[in-house]
């Protein structure tokens, strides 16, 4: 192929000794070769094999086009980035460019390139290899997400089998209306598995037992997940979720005001189904989550500290009062 990277005199900088002496680099560094001007710009080039790590924003100019030889024009120290655009190995004099964009032509094309030192004063490098590659690197498979959940009264969220968030207020707390905001890393698809619990004093399903306001409680949950790479809300609580009830009480709501509801109120308590967090679980027996209005749920306290996406809904199973412990699932394809 015709040489692509030629660069002309870098102002006399004392050769490699000066390069190795300067320290520092750039965030989001890039490498670009302008076909019109013959200028090669390397943002955040890192020196390797040097006594002290150092990084530079480097400008080179084409010295000869064929074979391609570039010459150092300037090098400004910068803070070293997490991923440099190129590396220069001081002992061998080899410049490796991970991805250089060729601009100024009919279309932008990209290469990975290797150049070797021809001379040190002035510093000149000759192209020895160039391999075409995609200009847009593949998106990282792992992303960072933000979760926001308000539950009456408690939740735990699993990503697949892994616990990623849990209500900071124990379920044994009679009045708990906090919201939780948290972050986690994951890859699409997201397998969101929720355990949701309404507070109950015991298996009767009642709260405030023995007080004048002894009653059947009610539940409710709203959540949203934001992809921090795109800033988009990618998951919300809605009827798309599938849920099943583990604890239901009282099965005979007429016991609500009994003096000893523990002995008169009936309940059903099922164990968690084996493998319920699996993406392959058969959900044919699970119900679609029921959507409720804010008036029906009565959100309090922490709910008002979150800016909710308009599509996020309050959900629970079909009985907001009697269904006390639920499992709910949502798959987010990405």
* CATH code that applies to domain 143-332: 2.60.120
Sign of torsion over alpha carbons 234, 181, 311, 323 = positive
**Predicted pLDDT of residue 137:** 66
| DSSP 8-state assignment for residue 305 | G
The domain locations on the chain are 16-133, 143-332
Q: Give me the chain's average pLDDT, please.
A: 88
What whole-number distance in Å separates Cα of residue 76 and Cα of residue 80? 12
Look at residue 15 and tell me whether its pLDDT is greater than 70.
Answer: no
pLDDT digits (tens, 9 = 90+) for 221-242: 999 999 999 999 999 999 999 9
Q: What is the pLDDT of residues 126-153, one digit of tens each?
A: 999 999 988 876 666 789 999 999 999 9
Is beta strand 221-227 parallel, antiparallel or unpaired with respect to 287-288?
A: unpaired
Full-model pTM: 0.60
Helices assigned H by DSSP within the chain: 16-21, 261-264, 294-297
The C-alpha atoms of residue 89 and residue 70 are separated, in whole angstroms, by 16
Least confident of 11-25, 94-108, 180-194, 252-266: 11-25
What are the φ and ψ backbone dihedral angles of 317, each rounded to 5 degrees?
Answer: -85, -170
pLDDT at 19: 38
Give CA separation, 197 vs 96, 206, 225, 328, in Å. Answer: 56, 13, 20, 11
pLDDT-derived band at 28 (thresholds 50, 70, 90) equals low
Residue 32 has which token pair?
């670009």
Residue 317 confidence (pLDDT): 97
Strands 232-236 and 221-227, how do they pair?
antiparallel
Q: What is the pLDDT of residue 32?
A: 92
At residue 3, the pLDDT reads 35
Residue 17's pLDDT is 38
91-119 average pLDDT score? 91
Per-residue pLDDT tens over the stretch 256-289: 999 999 999 999 999 999 999 999 999 999 999 9
Is the distance from CB of 118 to CB of 153 less than 8 angstroms?
no
Closest residue by Cα to residue 289 from 233, 225, 215, 235 = 235
Share of the chain above pLDDT 90, in %: 74
Which of the four pLDDT bands, split at 50, 70 and 90, describes residue 8? very low
3-state secondary structure 65-90: ECCEEEEEEEEEECCCCCCCCEEEEC
Average pLDDT over residues 175-186: 89
What DSSP line would sit under 128-172, residue for residue?
EEEEEE-SSPPPPS-EEEEEEEEESSEEEEEETTEEEEE-SS-TT
198-219 pLDDT, tens digit each: 999 999 999 999 999 999 989 9
Q: What mean pLDDT is predicted for residues 88-109? A: 90
Q: Where does the pLDDT of residue 323 fall: very low under 50, low under 70, confident under 90, or very high at 90 and above?
A: very high
Place of tokens 């004093």: 201
CB 236 within 8 Å of CB 313: yes
C-alpha span between 301 and 319 (Å, rounded): 23
**Distance of alpha carbon 217 from the chain centroid:** 36
pLDDT digits (tens, 9 = 90+) for 154-177: 999 999 999 999 999 888 776 778
Closest C-alpha among 25, 46, 9, 35 to residue 110: 35
Cα separation, 83 vs 125, in Å, equals 22
Contact, 60 vs 124, CB < 8 A?
no
Largest CA distance in the chain: 97
CB within 8 A of 263, min separation 6: which ones?
none
Strands 94-103 and 86-89: antiparallel
Q: Which residue has the higher pLDDT, 25 or 41?
A: 41
Identify the pLDDT of residue 127.
95
Q: What is the rounded distance in angstroms from the CA atom of residue 258 to the CA atom of residue 262? A: 9
DSSP letter assigned to residue 295: H
Cis peptide preceding 258, ω within 30 of 0 = no
Question: For residue 18, which phi and psi values (nearest 5 degrees)?
Answer: -70, -40
- The predicted model gives 24-28 an average pLDDT of 38
Amino acid 267: pLDDT: 96
């Amino acid at each position: 192929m015709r040489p692509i990277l030629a660069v002309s005199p870098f102002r006399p900088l004392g050769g490699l000794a000066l390069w190795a002496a300067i320290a520092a680099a750039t965030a989001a560094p890039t490498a670009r070769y302008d076909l019109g001007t013959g200028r090669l710009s390397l943002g955040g080039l890192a020196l390797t094999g040097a006594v002290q790590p150092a990084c530079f924003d480097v400008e080179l100019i084409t010295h000869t086009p064929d074979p391609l030889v570039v010459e150092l024009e300037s090098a400004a120290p910068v803070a070293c980035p997490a991923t440099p655009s190129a590396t220069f190995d001081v002992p061998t004099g080899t410049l490796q460019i991970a991805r250089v964009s060729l601009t100024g032509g009919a279309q932008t094309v990209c290469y990975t390139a290797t150049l070797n030192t021809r001379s040190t004063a002035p510093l000149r490098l000759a192209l020895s290899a160039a391999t075409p590659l995609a200009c847009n690197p593949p998106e990282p498979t792992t992303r960072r997400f933000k979760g926001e959940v308000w539950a009456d009264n408690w939740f735990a969220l699993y990503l697949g089998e892994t616990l990623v968030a849990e209500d900071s207020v124990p379920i044994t707390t009679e009045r708990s209306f906090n919201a939780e905001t948290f972050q986690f890393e994951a890859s699409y698809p997201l397998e969101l598995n929720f355990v949701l619990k309404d507070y109950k004093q015991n298996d009767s399903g009642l709260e405030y037992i023995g007080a004048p306001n002894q009653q059947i409680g009610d539940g409710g949950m709203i959540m949203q997940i934001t992809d921090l790479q795109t800033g988009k809300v990618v998951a919300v609580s809605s009827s798309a979720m599938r849920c099943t009830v583990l604890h239901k009480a009282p099965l005979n709501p007429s016991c609500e005001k009994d003096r000893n509801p523990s002995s008169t109120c009936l309940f059903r308590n099922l164990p968690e189904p084996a493998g319920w967090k699996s993406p392959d679980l058969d959900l044919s027996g699970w119900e679609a989550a029921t959507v409720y209005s804010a008036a029906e749920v009565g959100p309090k306290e922490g709910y008002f500290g979150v800016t909710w996406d308009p599509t996020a809904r309050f959900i629970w199973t079909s009985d907001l009062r009697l269904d006390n412990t639920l499992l709910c699932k949502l798959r987010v394809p990405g």
